[in-house]
Amino acid sequence: MLRYMINRIVAMVPILVLVSVLVFSLLSSMPGDPLDRMLQDNPDFTYEDYMRLRGLYGLDDPIYVRYFKWASQMVQGNLGYSRQYKIPVQNLIGPRLQNTLILSITSLILALSLALLIGIVSAVKQYSPFDYGSMAFAFFGFSVPNFWLALMLIVLFSVNLHWLPPGGIQSSDVPPGFWPMFTDRLKYLIMPVVITALAEMASWTRYTRNSLIDVLQLDYLRTARAKGLPEQAVVIKHALKNSLLPLVTVVGGSFSRFFAGATIVETVFSYPGMGKLLFDSVMGNDFVVSMAILLILSTMVLWGNLLADLMYGWIDPRIRYD
């Protein structure tokens, strides 16, 4: 088990290196360079200054030299300096990452628990009105474009009903104390969390339902019922665990969408998370910031897949790691 984990983590390294090379070359072929911003800010900036600074910052070096310079700083923990925000990238990403984690972990928990609940009930009551209703809802959930639904919810809940704030992260006039702060943050989180959770929840509901229906027809469950187990124990203890494998795969694979797909949600709700930061830095040619965020996202994807593979062994003890 431990050896398997170490092997997997070692195998991540070449993939990450490949990803970083790919992302680095993509980002450096984007039009514009970090000096553009200086050029815009300062009318006294001459062409000679521009050329001198290009040489000074090593922007004239061939791409592989720049990559190695960047990579050697990166492994030492120096992510660079943001031209747009004028602070080191570490300090920039820290709070943003925290905001994104709050958003995505909340929606992950919401999506997973609702998907399991609805999926189990509709599998047990297959072809009931509840089943049809939840399936219709699932199809709605993964077909509706999230930015459009977000706009519609803003119109409904913020503009017409005045229940929820249309965007941002907290009010400016919160009384001090944990609970007022908490409820205030919560109000700002509701809509982004619901939108982020919806699409994944919809597809996970279907996975749970379909695989549970398959498992429920198996012989060993008839045995379980025959020996007098209550239906609840049959479904929850015996059937559910065996039906979780496909769900675990999709959940592990959806990590990237949770963090990166938040780009749109964060942009619509102007929620200061990593997705919005990434969008702003791509738009503003903030090279090192985009690079750092893209690498963090790719690492999360790889960890998500590893986590899913480790979960298999817990769910299905027949799966061995060697």
Least distance to other proteins, CB of residue 267, Å? 7
Residues 131, 286: contact at Cβ < 8 Å? Answer: no
Largest CA distance in the chain: 87
Residue with Cβ nearer other proteins (45 or 305) = 305
Total residues contacting other proteins by CB under 8 A comes to 44
Q: Which of 39, 37, 73, 35 is nearest to 56 (CA)?
A: 35
Binding-site member from 68, 148, 163, 314 for other proteins (CB under 8 A)? 148
Choosing from 40, 143, 172, 232, the residue that interacts with other proteins (CB under 8 A) is: 143
Q: How far is the CB of 264 from other proteins (least distance, A)?
A: 6
How far apart, in whole angstroms, are the C-alpha atoms of residue 42 and residue 39?
Answer: 6
Half-sphere exposure in the Cβ direction for 23 (13 Å, CA): 22
Q: How far apart are CA 236 and CA 239, in angstroms?
A: 6
By the rule CB under 8 A, 31 interacts with other proteins? yes
R_g of the chain computed on alpha carbons: 24
Q: Which of 133, 145, 180, 230 binds other proteins (CB under 8 A)?
A: 145
| Nearest partner of 253 among 215, 206, 290, 204, judged by Cα | 204
Q: Verify binding: residue 30, other proteins, rule CB under 8 A.
A: yes
Which one of 116, 212, 264, 289 is in contact with other proteins (CB under 8 A)? 264
Which one, 7 or 170, has the nearer CB to other proteins? 7
Residue from 256, 313, 316, 321 touching other proteins (CB under 8 A): that is 256
Angstrom distance (rounded) from CA 224 to CA 240:
13
Residue placing its CB nearer to other proteins in the complex, 7 or 46: 7
Q: State the DSSP code for 81.
A: B
Site string for other proteins, 57-96 (x = CB under 8 A): ----------------------------------------
Q: Which residues pair with 88 in a beta bridge?
A: 81
Token reading at 67 = 């990559």
Angle ∠(140,144,150) on CA atoms, nearest 5: 120
Examine residue 15 and tell whether it contacts other proteins (CB under 8 A): yes
The residues binding other proteins (CB under 8 A) are 14-15, 18-19, 22-23, 26-27, 29-31, 139-140, 142-145, 147-148, 151-152, 155, 159, 253, 256-257, 259-261, 263-264, 267, 278-279, 282-283, 290, 293-294, 297-298, 301-302, 305
